[in-house]
Amino acid sequence: MRITNGMLAREAAAGFQRQMQALDAARREASTGTKVSRPSDDPVAAAGIMQSDSGLRALDQYRKNLESGQARLNVEDSVLDQLSNALIRAKELAISQADDTASAETRKTSQAEVDRLIDFVKDLADTQLAGRYLFGGQYADSAPYGGGALDPAKPPSGSFPIEVGAGQFVETNHSAQEIFVDSDVVDSLTALSTALGADDTTAVQSALTRLDAAFDAVQEKIGDLGARMNQLDIGMSNIESLGVNLQTFRSKLSDADLSAAVTELVSRQNTLQAAMLANSRILDLTLTDYLR
């Protein structure tokens, strides 16, 4: 087969193109520290990187959900603590006014304090967080006791679950219905106020019994709240751990060994220079050169 200068030139150009592409890939890897800059570099690794990125974005959203849930639970924890103190004070007043040593006048004075406690408790029920009513349930845009009493058209009930994993939901805070109504907190305080105003010792004692039960119900909510807080803490810990694992996996797929990348770059440069020098000498040969 006859080898012409044109054939040599074309083969040299194709070789240079391959060498330049390899050099460019080595340069990108060394300068960016990334083995996979585009899917064509390594389709399998690229698919793994995309899956890792998707997983990391999902974890970031779950982390935000958990932080929101923790904020809600922390505020509720403070509210329940204040509510417990209010009930304790109401019980103290009931005990002091439930025997014959008290008078109509002292009961009237105690009634005024109980009425202030009722207003305080209703204010707790109307607690806001980030512009929403924490205990409003499905009507979080309306204050549960905004008009002084519950609105039957907008019952403050319903859960507020957050997604902490694929298909995994956790309930956050309780609703006003659970804390202030079902527990008999507001009604028992109202019963005490009425009994004190009526100077009715028997009714005061009955209200005291109801307050004890309401206080116990609030303590149950506090216990449940603690369990939910622990659940969110565990969820946050799991997400942080999974995030580290996913990031490590992604790094193994995408991050380059800089030392090896620089060595490869230098090697590619030297190879290209050697090829250019060799081809320039071959292509410069003429018939006169052969006859010498």
Write the pLDDT tens digit of every residue in 208-235.
999 999 999 999 999 999 999 999 999 9
β-pairing verdict for 161-165 and 168-171: antiparallel
The per-residue pLDDT for 186 is 97
The per-residue pLDDT for 165 is 83
CA dist., res. 41 & res. 19, Å (int):
16
Does 262 score more than 80 pLDDT?
no
For residue range 3-17, what is the model confidence (pLDDT) as tens digits? 555 555 565 555 545
CB neighbours (10 Å) of residue 236? Answer: 17
Q: Which of 118-122, 174-178, 252-256 has the lowest mean pLDDT?
A: 252-256
CA dist., res. 67 & res. 186, Å (int):
31
Does 141 score more than 80 pLDDT?
yes
Closest by CA position to 264, among listed 22, 1, 3, 5:
22
**CA 170 vs CA 74, 161, 233: distances in Å:** 15, 5, 12
Pull the structure tokens for residue 200.
């009715």
Does 60 score more than 60 pLDDT?
yes
CA dist., res. 183 & res. 36, Å (int):
60
Q: What is the mean pLDDT of residues 7-36?
A: 56
Which bin fits 192, alpha (ψ -120 to 50), beta or left (φ > 0)? alpha
Backbone φ and ψ for 240, nearest 5 degrees, come out as -60, -40
Q: What is the model's pTM?
A: 0.75
The per-residue pLDDT for 290 is 46
Q: Which residue has the higher pLDDT, 218 or 23?
A: 218
Does 133 score more than 90 pLDDT?
yes
Does 44 score more than 50 pLDDT?
yes
Please name the residue that has the structure tokens 């609703």: 175
The per-residue pLDDT for 168 is 85
The per-residue pLDDT for 279 is 58
Q: Which residue has the higher pLDDT, 125 or 246?
A: 125
Q: Which residue has the higher pLDDT, 245 or 218?
A: 218
Q: Give the mean pLDDT of the chain.
A: 83
**CA 222 vs CA 67, 79, 125: distances in Å:** 20, 10, 15
The per-residue pLDDT for 287 is 44
